[in-house]
Amino acid sequence: MYPISYASRVVALLLSVVCGNTSAATRQLCQPFDFQFQATSTPPLHSLAQAPTPVVFALHEGRLQPQVERLLRERFAVTTIEWRASPHFRWSSDYLLSAESWTQALTHLLQPYGLKAVLYANHSAVIVPEQEAAL
């Protein structure tokens, strides 16, 4: 990036070429240009984007299916769930699952079991083995 003084010189040169004509009509179009750098109090755009708030979901020792269904009902507004996977999957201990989003939390929960959630617009979901989801 060029220093501001270089940029100011380029703008001045362009304005002198464009506004060099001294006719009254051109002078109205070419207003004076302020070459002084004005610092603004507006923060840069990258600081305006807020960091995502992490989400936390409590898991308990026991069957996986009711816990996944609870997550889907509470956080994804799912009303109908079809479980096409084994009902015998178990979660081994009490655990707080944290992620950047609820979608990521669901993925982290299902992935070790080789499962995928397929969500539909009619507030339904199907839990399937990853191989079946690929078909």
pLDDT tens sequence across 42-57: 555 555 556 668 999 9
Domain co-membership, 130 together with 90: yes
Residue 44 lies in a domain: no
First-last CA distance in the chain: 51
Domain co-membership, 32 together with 59: no
For 110-131, letters b (16+ CB in 10 Å) and e give beebebbbeeeeeeebbbbeee
Range of the domain at 26: 4-37
Domain co-membership, 116 together with 62: yes
Domain co-membership, 71 together with 129: yes
Check which CATH number belongs to the domain holding 97 and give it: 3.55.50.30
Domain co-membership, 12 together with 67: no
pTM of the model: 0.61
pLDDT digits (tens, 9 = 90+) for 60-87: 999 999 999 999 999 999 999 999 999 9
